[in-house]
Amino acid sequence: MITESLPRFSAQNFLNVLRHGLITVVFCCLIGAALAISGNGSWSSQMVYSLSTGTISWLVIDIGRLLLSGHKQTLWPHGLWGFVLVALGVTVGFFGGNAIGDAWVGAPPLEFSSMGARKTTSSIVITVAATIGMCFFFYSLGKSKHMQSQLDLAQRDATEARLKLLETQLEPHMLFNTLANLRALITVDPPRAVAMLDRLNSYLRATLSGSRTLAHPLADEFDRLADYLELMSVRMGDRLRYTLTLPDELRELPVPPLLLQPLVENSIRHGLEPKVEGGTIAVRARTEAGQLVIEVSDTGVGLNPAPVAPAAPSESGSGFGLEQVRERLATMYGAQSRMELAALPAGGTCATLRFPLPAVA
């Protein structure tokens, strides 16, 4: 029967075992040096005794915990088994290390049994204390890493839940706006209203299923934006013109769904609709200083109907859609993201998003 590989036998866990072994070797060398300096034997003999005892104890305990932990995420046996494993490691390490040390110095096997009680007791105490100390250190280190991974997972889940909440608020907002426009169009131009309804049906069919993910390629975001602008073109006719510019090297970059549509909605509602002749919306993506920069500009009435000079970029700009974009950027990218809203010198408005270049999956 084929069984699923267990996390305890992953490459990362074996690297951790090797890291524990390296720390154990350093610790054993310090103990051996201390014993040699105190006059308990030559440097070479104390190093052999210490390294043999510590290495055997490490192998028994570290490999044993992987075998006994099962599917537990902490990779340490709970309850009595943990104490049994440490006791086994101490015992095997003590006898095995002394046997190797005795062979190295040419002494009879397990010579410690013929030593004085004081020397034997001190040897046992050092072995037990060192082994328990190292086990506690490694256990605390592993528990700390486990708690940190659980905290990271909880934070990631909270971020995903917040992004989902913000997105579920955006989708009905866009839908209600479109239905309101459709209702107004029905009374004045029924054929165009039917065309708009058909476009809305196609848009929802093609995009609602894709909006259930936390991120999708930037190319998909631009495609959804094109569908939405085509939908708005049915209602506005020649008053709405648009251009979408997306370099090929940026097409696969992951971004949150519905990130740009609120900005385009804002441009149409507050920029182009109040202007009799309408205008143009341009959406461009580029990179700058290691960040992804997306600009949504329009030739509408602008932040100030009669601008005298270019306005400095600001964080101003109210409205449900704009606030949602800010919140989603802050939730996903924190202080590394920014949304700027500025009036253009020739009239119109430019909304600029800046956030770190996402990694391509």
DSSP string, 281-302: EEEEEEEETTEEEEEEEE-SS-
- List phi, psi (to 5°) of 171: -60, -50
Domain-embedded: residue 29: yes
Same domain? 21 vs 104: yes
Domain-embedded: residue 169: no
Which of 153, 180, 204 marks a domain boundary? Answer: 153
For 245, the 3-state DSSP assignment is strand
pLDDT at 250: 94
Same domain? 227 vs 138: no
Domain-embedded: residue 160: no
Which of 131, 153, 175 marks a domain boundary? Answer: 153
Same domain? 128 vs 195: no
Same domain? 141 vs 44: yes
Res 278 pLDDT > 80: yes
Res 262 pLDDT > 80: yes
**Higher-scoring residue by pLDDT: 162, 26:** 26
pTM for the predicted model, two decimal places: 0.52
Query: What is the average pLDDT across 69-91?
Result: 73
Domain housing 298: 189-356
Domain-embedded: residue 179: no
Same domain? 193 vs 138: no
Domain-embedded: residue 159: no
Same domain? 143 vs 204: no
CB atoms within 10 A of CB 61: 26
The number of distinct structural domains making up the chain is 2
Query: What is the average pLDDT across 58-82?
Result: 74
Same domain? 135 vs 235: no
pLDDT above 70 coverage of the chain, percent: 71
DSSP for 328-346, please give it. HHHHHHGGG-EEEEEE-TT
Same domain? 119 vs 198: no
> Are residues 353 and 329 in contact, defined by beta-carbon separation less than 8 angstroms?
yes
Domain-embedded: residue 361: no
Beta strands in the chain (DSSP E): 216-217, 240-245, 254-255, 279-288, 291-298, 338-343, 349-356
Same domain? 270 vs 213: yes
Domain-embedded: residue 95: yes
Alpha-carbon gap, residue 293 to 284, rounded angstroms: 8
Same domain? 348 vs 204: yes
Same domain? 114 vs 193: no
Average pLDDT, the chain: 76
Same domain? 101 vs 25: yes
**Higher-scoring residue by pLDDT: 24, 144:** 24
**3-state DSSP helix/strand/coil % of the chain, to nearest 5:** 65, 10, 25
For 13, the 3-state DSSP assignment is helix
In this structure, what CATH number is given to the domain that contains residue 305? 3.30.565.10
The residues near 214 (Cβ < 8 Å, ≥ 6 apart) are: 160, 163, 164, 256, 257
pLDDT at 230: 84
For 326, the 3-state DSSP assignment is helix
**Higher-scoring residue by pLDDT: 253, 58:** 253
pLDDT at 311: 39
Domain-embedded: residue 43: yes
